[in-house]
Amino acid sequence: MDQVSPCSLSPYRYFSVEEWSKLRADTPMTLSEREIDTLKSLNDPISIEEAEAVYLPLSRLLSFHVEARDKLYAVRSRFLGSQEGSMPFIIGIAGSVAVGKSTTARILEELLARWPGHPRVSLVTTDGFLYPNAVLEAEGLMEKKGFPESYDVAALLRFLSDIKAGRQSVTSPVYSHLTYDIVPGETMTVEKPDILILEGLNVLQSRALPKDGKEVPFVSDYFDFSIYIDAEEADIRRWYIDRFMRLKETRFRDPRSYFHRYADVDDAKAREVAQGLWDRINLVNLDENIRPTRPRADLIIAKSADHSVREVALRKL
C-alpha cells in the first residue's frame, strides 16, 4: 500500500503569495497607496502591492462567503416559514501582539466596505473588553494583561450575541492605548453592520468543556469566518521590541502615556524593558493561549522575517 503523504492529511490547502494573488481574478484594487499608508500600523511596512496580492483576493473570498451565507439564511427562512433577514457576518482575527492584526483588520474593513451588497462594515477590537486596570491590579492580573482571564468575557459574549441577533445599536467599551486602560464612561456604538470584524489576541480561545454537556459559549461560536496571523516567535519578538523603541520616541513622550516613565531612559535600558515585557508576558501568552488556537482558524496568513506575507493556508471544505 502506498504511504499517504503527511501534507495530504492537512485540513488546509497552502498557497504561495504568487498563487494566492491570482485568485483576485479581475477584481479591481479599490484602495490607493496613500490610503494603505493611513491604515497600516506602526512598524508594519505593508505595501500596496502586498495589499493587492494578499488582501484583495481575501476580500473576494469573504464576499463570496457573505453571499453564500445570505443564501443559506434565505433557504432556512423558507424551511422555518419565517421572514427573518440575514444577520451580520462576523469575522474573527487572532494572533500575537505586534504581528499585524490591526493592519489586516483595517485593510479588510475598507476593502469589504467597497464591495457591493454589504457596505456597512464595522471593526471592533477586544481591547475594549479588558477589565479596567484597577480591577486587574486588585486581582493581581496586571502581569497577565491580554491573557484570557484579563477580559470580561461575559460582556464580550453579550456584545456578540446582540450583534448576531440583529439589534439596531450595540455599544462596546473604549480602550486607550495611550493610557493603557479602559476609558471611563466612554463607549462606541455599532449600528447593525452587514459585516463585523472582531480583532484580538485570544478570539479563537476555547475553554474546558463541562462534563455534563451543558452549553458553554465561546467567542468563536459567533464567527462566520476566522483568520490567524502567524510568524516565527523570534520575528515577532523583534517586531515587538522595535515597536516599543519607536513608541519610546513618540507616544511615550506624552505625559498621559502609561509608559511615559520610559520616554527618557537610554536605548539600552528601554530594550531591556521591552525584552522583559516580552519574556514575562507576551511570550507566555503566545505559547500558552494564542498559538494553540492557530489550527482553529479558517485561514492562516504566515509572515516572513521582514513582515511580508510568505504563505496563505485556507481550510478545506
Report the alpha-carbon distance of residue 236 to residue 279 in Å, rounded. Answer: 12
Q: What is the CA radius of gyration of the chain?
A: 20
- State the distance between the two ends of the chain, measured CA to CA, in whole angstroms: 27
User: Cα separation of 198 and 315, whole Å?
Assistant: 20
- At 211 the pLDDT is 80
pLDDT in the model for residue 90: 98
Buried-state track 124-146, b at ≥16 Cβ within 10 A, e below 16: bbbbbbbbebeebeeeebeebbb
Q: Which CA distances in Å does 234 have to 3, 117, 193, 286?
A: 35, 41, 38, 12
From first to last of the 317 residues of the chain, give the pLDDT tens digit.
334 344 567 999 999 999 999 999 999 999 999 999 999 887 888 999 999 999 999 999 999 999 999 999 989 899 999 877 778 999 999 999 999 999 999 999 999 999 987 789 999 999 999 999 999 999 999 999 999 999 999 999 999 999 999 999 999 999 999 999 999 999 999 999 999 999 999 999 987 777 888 888 899 999 999 999 999 999 999 999 999 999 999 999 999 999 999 999 999 999 999 999 999 999 999 999 999 999 999 999 999 999 999 999 999 99
pLDDT of residue 250: 95
The helix, strand and coil proportions of the chain, stated in percent and rounded to the nearest 5, come to 45, 20, 35
| Domains observed in the chain | 6-206+215-315 (3.40.50.300)
SS (H, E, C) 259-270: CHHHCCCCHHHH
* Element of type H or E holding 34: helix 33-39
Non-local CB neighbours of 44 within 8 Å, separated by 6+ positions: 100, 102, 103, 307
pTM above 0.85, yes or no: yes
Q: Is 130 helix (H, G, I), strand (E, B) or coil?
A: strand
